[in-house]
């Protein structure tokens, strides 16, 4: 019996495939260090867990409004004012089952068959695949390590055509760790101002995991604010990946469209997670700040390792918890048994020979790179990066 053709249009996330592979190897008794991880290795802060327990005891066990509880939408608006100095009303907010659903809602609400969607590479795995589900045309736009993995206003201007409907990016960026400054965003905003038909998805889910200062949102530029859809969520900044809580802030028109779609797919997200999210958003960010300090300590250690690895070209991440080195130096090299042709081969070589999982750059539209996480304990970072260093040192030019 045939399945639908939608399934042929997109790929399974490489990140999730890697996580599956790690679990499988572990169940076979292999001591795998998972550096493909895309989530904080911290527990959710106690006051947020308490709020969830309270919500269960208070019998928050019924369906919720599709776009989220009103007091949660208000908490999101307050957060946007407190952290980003942005004015939004509850009618601009839609809460979803993770930022991943927020992104899916948004793309399906905006993109029609044949519409062009510009995505600078490297980008988060899901962007291109959701666009393909919507039958949009993915226009990847290469940025390189030399430009700090950031798109320039000139490149953006050249990429926009009459058919462009949406621009998708994250800052801090998963996987590159690049963070756009206010000045860089202002320059991009000048370009978008000339193209009011283009929506901008600003994925700010790593907002708090920023090592260079306060995160800047492109929504701060009034003339393009209605074109911008902010995507954010609690997964990364509050160590709440499994709770599945994301949201958008958008024009009321876009928010309504997303709510309509969500009403047929999932309805309102989990009631307990929503009650806990209100407390997370309204409370002090001390626990998040502590977590980020620890990520910074690990990043420093990781950069020490990387600086000793011959052939690994890497910029220091300004945010998120990954490094994304250019690993082309190893292409064509061999340990005498395995020859590395590309990033996928290197990722497989590292898992098979060093028992360390990473994610190949192709998954992020940048085949020259390899994503290696530092969202793991210092002990595992020491072990994992040492193993990577040893395995890479064995790769030599073929005779
Ligand atoms: N955006 C980026 C850049 C991400 O890295 C992730 C998760 O890895 C998400 C969105 C989705 O987050 P969630 O669905 O857990 O809220």
pLDDT digits over 176-197, tens only?
A: 999 999 999 999 999 999 999 9
> For the residues 10-26, what does the mean pLDDT come to?
85
pTM, two decimal places: 0.96
Model confidence at 17, pLDDT cuts 50, 70, 90, reads confident
Average pLDDT rounded to a whole number, residues 358-373 = 95
Here the tokens at position 242 are: 């499994």
Quick check: 399 pLDDT over 80? no
Asked if pLDDT for residue 20 goes beyond 90, the answer is no
State the virtual CA torsion across 383, 388, 389, 390 in degrees, nearest 10: 90
Q: Is the pLDDT of residue 109 over 90?
A: yes
Distance 235 CA to ligand 1 centre (A): 7
- pLDDT recorded at residue 359: 94
Sign, CA dihedral 215-220-221-227, equals positive
CA distance 74 to 250: 14
Q: Is the pLDDT of residue 86 over 90?
A: yes
Average pLDDT, the chain: 96
Q: Which percentage of the chain shows pLDDT scores above 70?
A: 100
Q: How far is the CA of 246 from the centre of ligand 1 (A)?
A: 9
User: Looking at ligand 1, which residue's alpha carbon is closest to its atom 12?
Assistant: 99
Q: Whose CA is nearest to atom 8 of ligand 1?
A: 38
Determine which residue's CA is closest to atom 5 belonging to ligand 1: 174
pLDDT score, position 314: 95
Task: Work out the pLDDT band at 298, boundaries 50, 70, 90.
Answer: very high
Task: For residues 184 and 255, give the distance between their C-alpha atoms in angstroms, rounded to a whole number.
Answer: 27
Spatial contact of 215 and 208, defined as CB atoms under 8 Å apart: yes
- Are 21 and 352 in contact, with CB atoms under 8 Å apart? no
Report angle CA 186, 119, 236 to the nearest 5 degrees: 80
Instruction: Tell how strand 370-373 and strand 164-170 pair up.
Output: unpaired
pLDDT at 80: 98
Q: What mean pLDDT do residues 218-228 have?
A: 98
Q: How far apart are CA 104 and CA 133, in angstroms?
A: 9
**What Rg value do the Cα atoms of the chain yield, rounded?**
21
End-to-end, the C-alpha distance of the chain in Å comes to 51
Residue 25 has a CB neighbour count (10 Å cut-off) of 17
Helix ranges (DSSP H) in the chain = 6-9, 14-27, 46-57, 70-84, 98-110, 126-133, 153-159, 182-193, 252-265, 271-282, 286-307, 343-353, 378-393
Instruction: Go through 354-364 and write b for each residue having 16 or more CB atoms within 10 A of its CB, e for each that does not.
Output: bbbbbbbbbbb
- Does residue 11 carry a pLDDT above 90? no
Please tell me the distance from the alpha carbon of residue 392 to that of residue 350, in angstroms, as a whole number: 8
The preferred substitution site among 19, 102, 124, 266 for testing ligand 1, maximizing ligand atoms within 8 Å of CB, is: 124
The ligand 1 site (C-beta within 6 Å) comprises: 38, 98-100, 124, 170, 174, 203, 205, 233, 235, 241, 246
Measured from the Cα of 99, ligand 1's closest atom is 16
**CA separation for the pair 174, 319 (Å, rounded):** 9
Instruction: Give residue 13's pLDDT.
Output: 80
Contacts of range 29-32, beta carbons closer than 8 Å, 24 or more positions apart: 30/355, 31/355, 32/351, 32/355, 32/356, 32/357
Query: What's the pLDDT score for residue 280?
Result: 98
């Amino acid at each position: 019996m045939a399945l639908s053709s939608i399934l042929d249009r997109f790929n399974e996330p490489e990140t999730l495939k890697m996580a599956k592979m790690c679990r499988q190897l572990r169940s076979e008794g292999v001591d795998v260090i998972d550096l493909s991880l895309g989530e904080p290795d911290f527990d959710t802060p106690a006051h947020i867990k308490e709020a969830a327990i309270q919500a269960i005891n208070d019998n928050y066990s019924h369906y919720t409004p599709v776009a989220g509880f009103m007091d949660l939408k208000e908490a999101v608006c307050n957060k946007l004012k407190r952290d980003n100095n942005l004015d939004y009303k509850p009618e601009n907010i839609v809460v979803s089952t993770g930022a991943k659903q927020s992104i899916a809602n948004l793309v399906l609400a905006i993109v029609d068959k044949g519409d062009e969607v510009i995505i600078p590479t490297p980008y988060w795995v899901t962007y291109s695949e959701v666009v393909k589900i919507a039958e949009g045309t993915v226009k990847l736009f290469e940025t390189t390590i030399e430009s700090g993995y950031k798109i320039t206003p000139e490149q953006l201007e050249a990429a926009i055509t009459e058919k462009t409907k949406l621009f998708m990016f994250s800052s801090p960026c998963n996987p590159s760790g690049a963070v756009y400054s206010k000045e860089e965003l202002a320059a991009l905003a000048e370009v978008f101002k000339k193209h009011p038909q283009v929506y901008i998805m600003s994925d700010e889910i790593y907002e708090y995991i920023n090592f260079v200062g306060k995160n800047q949102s492109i929504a701060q530029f009034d003339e393009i604010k209605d074109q911008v859809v902010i995507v954010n969520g609690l997964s990364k900044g509050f160590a709440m990946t499994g709770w599945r809580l994301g949201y958008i802030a958008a024009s009321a028109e876009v928010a309504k469209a997303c709510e309509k779609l969500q009403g047929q797919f999932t309805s309102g997200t989990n009631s307990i997670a929503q009650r806990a999210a209100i407390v997370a958003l309204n409370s002090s960010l001390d626990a998040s700040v502590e977590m980020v300090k620890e990520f910074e300590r690990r990043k420093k250690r990781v950069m020490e390792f990387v600086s000793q690895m011959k052939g690994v070209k890497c910029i220091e991440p300004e945010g998120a918890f990954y490094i994304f080195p250019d690993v082309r130096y190893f292409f064509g090299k061999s340990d005498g048994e395995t020859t590395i042709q590309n990033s996928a081969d290197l990722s497989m070589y590292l898992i098979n020979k060093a028992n360390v999982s990473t994610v190949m750059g192709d998954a992020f539209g940048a085949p020259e790179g390899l994503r290696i996480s530092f969202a793991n304990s210092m002990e595992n970072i020491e072990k994992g990066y040492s193993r990577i260093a040893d395995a890479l040192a064995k790769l030599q030019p073929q005779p």
